[in-house]
Amino acid sequence: MMSLTLDLRAYAHELGIPLVGITSAEPFLDLREILIRRRSAGKQCPFEYDDIEKRCDPRLVLPGARSIVAVGIPYLSKPVPIPGNAPRGRIARVAWGQDYHRVVGEALEKLARFLRKHCPGMEYRSMVDTGPLADRAVARRAGIGWQGKNCAIITKPLGSWLFLGEMLTSLPLEPDPPVEKDCGECTRCLKACPTGALASPYNIDPHQCLSYITQARGFIPGEFRHLMGNRIYGCDACQEACPHNREAGKDGHPAFLPAGDCHVPNLTELLHMSKDEFARQYASTSAGWCGRQVLRRNAAVALGNTGDPDAVPSLVAALEDPSPVLRGHAAWALGRIGGTVAKTALQSARAKENDPLVEAEIRHALETV
Ligand code: B12
Ligand code: SF4
Ligand code: SF4
């Protein structure tokens, strides 16, 4: 199988996959302990696969699996300069360009077809992000990179701006050794985290992480709103702080080049984005899955965080929106910006409001305005 593994790597490089690592399909026993501890501490988030046994035992996912082919595809690309002074939001780099689930998924399918050509009876199952396996645990054991205190898989010279994915296969491929490296004394990411979600190394509380908070539906807990700044989807702070990312080249896979200004959206336009505009601009990105209303809600918070009185008219218009979540966050944003126009609009909205949660938001905003 040695020469097949070499051929597979060469083919992966042709496809624009610079990192390929192989590990056995043995269970991830240390991960099981970590996941059980996290769940009992209330740190498992709804984006995680629920079945811990399946997350840790590849053979429960593909019976007869003997190896895992792990891949890393870099996504760092040059930001495109955008003209004008309009207030803009920030979309994390994971959602620039095309949806990585599709791009990495298609690359893995091509690798599977390549292996099947040589070994026609091969069984396989591929996954990126949404499958049962923990992509980082797989990547770490397969030697893709080491795990930083910010939890990210880091490599040299690409840093941590990598999408991960893997293919379980029935083939007995030659495993790679894990990368023997760690963060040493550095703690920059822990200090850079705006919310304290990374309270200690390798240990994140997703419910405090702005990546989770910007993607989850519903009302954002009040204590996190001002910490969001102009983030609309995801958060890159703990990776931007990492010295290994300073050395990283800006030559990610071309599929992740930002299209237009979607990665730094005009906040006022985003707040009033129609269904058609959403479908055109975001449906094919990985930010699309969280839906239009979540992005609009975050635009309201980001406008509030600008403190800019020019944002008041569009936020006042959002007080009439059919979505209670949008009305509530527009009220919060108006309270944060303040001024007579904001106050008068909040008072008249309060008189008409029927939703108790929105009414409470307006009342609170009027106390601060
Ligand atoms: C749920 C989830 C989230 C949640 C929770 C994040 C988390 N850290 O668990 C939220 C929504 C917050 C999130 C945020 C982000 N995510 Co996310 N997320 C996932 C998902 C679906 C599951 C992760 C999981 O199982 N978490 C549970 C914990 C236990 O897993 P873990 O971090 O891998 O755990 C390791 C540590 O606990 C470590 N550990 C514990 N103690 C010790 C001690 C030592 C010494 C060492 C070395 C390690 C160690 O061992 C575990 C196994 O490796 C994966 C996809 C997947 N299916 O795996 C993507 C994934 C992890 N996310 C990814 C990305 C890109 C992000 C964001 C950067 C997106 C953004 N810009 O906003 C942020 C980064 C936040 C962060 N610092 O982790 C990438 C990571 C790529 C990489 N290079 O590492 C993944 C792999 C998706 C993908 N396929 O590319 N994510
Ligand atoms: S993604 Fe942002 S909020 Fe989440 S742990 Fe990293 S720095 Fe903290
Ligand atoms: S910032 Fe420092 S501690 Fe955090 S992941 Fe990078 S090297 Fe490790």
Q: What is the domain partition of the chain in residue ranges?
A: 2-169, 265-368
The confidence score (pLDDT) of residue 179 equals: 95
The confidence score (pLDDT) of residue 170 equals: 98
The confidence score (pLDDT) of residue 157 equals: 86
Q: Ligand 2 centroid vs 323 CA: distance in angstroms?
A: 28
The confidence score (pLDDT) of residue 251 equals: 78
Phi, psi of 282 (to 5 degrees): -120, -20
The confidence score (pLDDT) of residue 90 equals: 96
Q: Ligand 3 centroid vs 225 CA: distance in angstroms?
A: 26
The confidence score (pLDDT) of residue 83 equals: 77
Tokens coding 121 = 């009876």
pLDDT tens-digit series, residues 289-337: 999 999 999 999 999 999 999 999 999 999 999 999 999 999 999 999 9
Q: Which ligand sits closest to the CA of 90?
A: 1
- Which residue positions in the chain have pLDDT lower than 50? none
Q: Which atom of ligand 3 is nearest to the CA of 201?
A: 3
Dist. CA 196–CA 45, nearest whole Å: 17
**150, 238 in Cβ contact below 8 A?**
yes
> Could you tell which of 235, 239, 242, 245 is best to mutate to test the pocket of ligand 2, judged by most ligand atoms within 8 Å of the CB?
235
Write the DSSP symbol of residue 179.
Answer: P
The confidence score (pLDDT) of residue 369 equals: 87
CATH ID of 265-368, from 3.40.50.2020, 1.25.10.10, 3.30.365.10, 3.40.50.300:
1.25.10.10
The confidence score (pLDDT) of residue 105 equals: 97
Dist. CA 266–CA 91, nearest whole Å: 11
Asked whether 189 lines ligand 3 (CB < 6 A), one says yes
User: Who contacts 186 (Cβ-Cβ below 8 Å, separation ≥6)?
Assistant: 149, 243
Q: Ligand 2 centroid vs 348 CA: distance in angstroms?
A: 38
Q: Which atom of ligand 3 is nearest to the CA of 183?
A: 8
The confidence score (pLDDT) of residue 220 equals: 98
